[in-house]
């Protein structure tokens, strides 16, 4: 079929318009009634869910700030947030995992703007502009390869981002049960705020990654005892850590950095004794 001229298109439109006006249904009352009923159904649904949720409430908590359980629609309310927690793993609701993943991809301070503002804004603008960019009259799916590729590609990319976002390891995840791991973590001597050591769930970036350096016991002991002048690594002896604490955490770093690659080189008896004396026995051997 040859392309219609603008004038022909206008006439065709007018014909269609007149035809619909004669034979179609008027906006009022048909569309209005339709919308009203649909809205009422939605409101009724929400009210029904609310009543169902409320009927599932468990007993009120006995202590202040406690959680009140609910039925399958979720708790009445959760326990009061603890602002002093060091173990909370902040992550968004699942429908924001794709943005969360963008943040993980553009994770350095220089690239942060890409993940938070530039990429999402560009996509949003693209979405608004699309009807103006794609002016092709063709409607058949097989003749619109670019639009189709975008329409299929976009959800795939979003799903992939959502999935990988959901797999993100916990920020400063849980420390293992090895002796000294808790001492290494933020709640202990605070090594985790500067160092990355997977076994301790530590992801600090101020100091070197201990999994990579994997220092032996003597090196670790020296650094922790004396620190290193001119760097952020301070002397823990000067900071008031006990000799047992230092020996325990030095043994721990030597033994368990890099997934335990050098565990055999550590004097296990001394390691166990120091951590026991420091009150930092592990829960696993």
Nearest Cα to Cα of residue 91 among 79, 74, 103 = 103
DSSP bridge pairs for 77: 68
What φ, ψ does residue 82 adopt, rounded to 5°? -105, 105
| Smallest distance from ligand HEC to CB 246, Å | 7
| Smallest distance from ligand HEC to CB 227, Å | 8
Which residue number, 191 or 278, has a Cβ lying nearer to ligand HEC? 191
Which residue number, 49 or 86, has a Cβ lying nearer to ligand HEC? 86
Which residue number, 97 or 252, has a Cβ lying nearer to ligand HEC? 252
Which residue number, 145 or 230, has a Cβ lying nearer to ligand HEC? 230
Distance CA 206, CA 223 (A): 15
| Smallest distance from ligand HEC to CB 216, Å | 8
Interface contacts to ligand HEC, rule CB under 6 A: 184, 189-191, 193-195, 206-208, 213, 215, 219-220, 223-224, 228, 231-233, 236, 249, 253
Nearest Cα to Cα of residue 135 among 251, 279, 9 = 9
Nearest Cα to Cα of residue 177 among 192, 199, 195 = 199
What Cα–Cα distance (Å) separates residue 89 from each residue in 94, 169, 268? 14, 9, 32
Distance CA 211, CA 255 (A): 11
| Smallest distance from ligand HEC to CB 171, Å | 17
Which residue number, 249 or 275, has a Cβ lying nearer to ligand HEC? 249
| Smallest distance from ligand HEC to CB 48, Å | 54
């Amino acid at each position: 079929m040859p392309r219609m001229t603008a004038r022909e298109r206008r006439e065709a439109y007018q014909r269609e318009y007149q035809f619909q006006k004669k034979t179609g249904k008027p906006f009022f009352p048909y569309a209005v009634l339709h919308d009203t009923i649909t809205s009422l159904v939605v409101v009724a649904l929400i009210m029904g869910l609310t009543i169902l949720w409320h009927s599932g409430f468990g007993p009120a908590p006995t202590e202040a700030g406690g959680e009140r359980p609910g039925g399958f629609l979720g708790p009445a309310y959760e326990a009061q947030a603890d602002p002093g927690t060091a173990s909370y793993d902040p992550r968004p609701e699942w429908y924001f995992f794709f943005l969360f993943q963008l943040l993980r991809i553009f994770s350095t301070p220089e690239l942060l703007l890409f993940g938070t503002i530039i990429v999402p804004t560009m996509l949003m603008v693209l979405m608004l502009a699309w009807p103006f960019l794609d002016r092709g009259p063709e409607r058949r799916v097989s003749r619109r390869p670019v639009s189709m590729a975008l329409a299929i590609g976009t959800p795939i990319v979003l799903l992939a981002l959502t999935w990988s976002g959901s797999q993100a390891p916990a920020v400063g995840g849980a420390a293992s049960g090895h002796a000294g791991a808790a001492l290494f973590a933020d709640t202990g001597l605070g090594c985790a705020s500067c160092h990355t050591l997977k076994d301790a769930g530590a992801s600090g970036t101020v100091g070197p990654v201990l999994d990579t350096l994997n220092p032996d016991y003597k090196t670790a002991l020296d650094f922790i005892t004396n620190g290193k002048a001119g760097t952020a690594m301070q002397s823990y002896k000067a900071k008031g850590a006990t000799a047992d604490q230092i020996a325990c955490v030095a043994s721990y770093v030597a033994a368990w950095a890099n997934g335990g690659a050098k565990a055999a080189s550590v004097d296990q008896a001394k390691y166990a004794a120091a951590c026991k004396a420091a009150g930092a026995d592990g829960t696993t051997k």
